[in-house]
Every structure is written in C-alpha cells, then in structure tokens.
Amino acid sequence: MSKYSGGSVATKITSDILTRLYNDYDEGASLRDLSAKYGFSISSIYEAFQRNNLAIRPRKTHDLSHFDVLRMHAFYKHSQSLKKTSEHFNIRISVIRSQFSKYKLPSIRQHNRRVMAFSDKKIEKMHRYYMSNGYKATSDRFKTSLGTLHAAFKLRGLETARSRSTATQNYAELDAENN
C-alpha cells in the first residue's frame, strides 16, 4: 500500500483481485465504487481491465437539450445547491457544471462574486443613477448586467423597481380606501 492523497491505495492488482474487481464491475459497480471498496486508484483499475482485454462500459453521456439545462439552472438558482440539483435530476455535479459552462449560465458563487466586487461607494453612485434613469440606462452606463445590478441593490437593502412599484401600489390602495 502507498500513500495517495491522504489515503492508502493498493499498488498491485493480482489476478485473484482482478477477478473480484471485474465481477463487481460486471454486476454494475462503477470504477469509483471499486476504488473505494478495494483501495486501488480508478486509473489502476481501468488500466488493469485494459491490459487484460476486459470490456469496459462506455462513459455515461447526457444528451441534454438547452431547455433541460435551463430547467436545471432554474432549479439550481432556487435551491442554491449543486448537490440538491444533482440529486433532483440524477446527474453528476460535474456534468451540471459543464452544461452550465457550455451554455454560459453563471453559478450562484460566480454571480455573488460579481455582485460583491462593487464597492459601497460605487453601488451608491449606480443606485442614484438608477433611481433617475432606470435599470437599462444604468446597465449601459456602468457596463454590468441588469441581474447583477438588481442583486447588488437588493443585497445592500436599496430600493429597486419592484419595491418602488409595490410602494406605489400600496399608496394607491391607501388613497382609494381613504376616498
């Protein structure tokens, strides 16, 4: 046994162990499962199967449409967890990440990093401009997305279009009740 990334990994796969490995693999165990169970690295098991001309299942691929990926992204934004999204759609986290990247969909962490990159002084300046000119003009002037602006304002408790329209609606309802 040798040390490998903090754990013990066996270095020599004997023919007896290879038979047990392949029997488990043939019954549906993944290379990762075998690695955990027998203490060999995934690449060692894979190479042993190749050296001995044992059939290896093709990697699972996911034919996901753009619509499927958008559904996953919507779920992800709501749950704010790749793990929950992975479990809900029964797809590995690495596949979800690669699909989000393929379609240029931001992760929550990336989005929050952009939002937090603005200084409070800059956010106040953008918010003043937004209050008199709206989201689109502010987005164009400060070269940032509407979503990032909105998130930055909300995160700092600043008034947004939705809170303004809600307040206006509430005042209108109060006026109607009083008249």
User: CA 95 from chain center: how many Å?
Assistant: 10
pLDDT in the model for residue 125: 92
Examine residue 60 and state whether it is found in any structural domain, yes or no.
no
Domain count, the chain: 3
Examine residue 56 and state whether it is found in any structural domain, yes or no.
no
Examine residue 124 and state whether it is found in any structural domain, yes or no.
yes
**Could you tell me the mean pLDDT of each successive run of 10 residues in the chain, 179 residues long?**
45 88 87 89 91 84 83 85 86 83 74 71 90 88 83 78 48 51
- Asked if 101 and 119 sit in the same domain, the reply is no
Examine residue 166 and state whether it is found in any structural domain, yes or no.
yes
Examine residue 58 and state whether it is found in any structural domain, yes or no.
no
pLDDT in the model for residue 1: 42
pLDDT in the model for residue 177: 55
Examine residue 97 and state whether it is found in any structural domain, yes or no.
yes
Residue 74 lies in domain: 66-105
CA distance 132 to 147: 18
- Asked if 95 and 151 sit in the same domain, the reply is no
Examine residue 168 and state whether it is found in any structural domain, yes or no.
yes
pLDDT in the model for residue 3: 41
Identify the burial level of 130 via C-beta atoms within 10 angstroms of its C-beta, where 0-12 means exposed, 13-18 middle and 19 or more buried. buried
pLDDT in the model for residue 171: 44
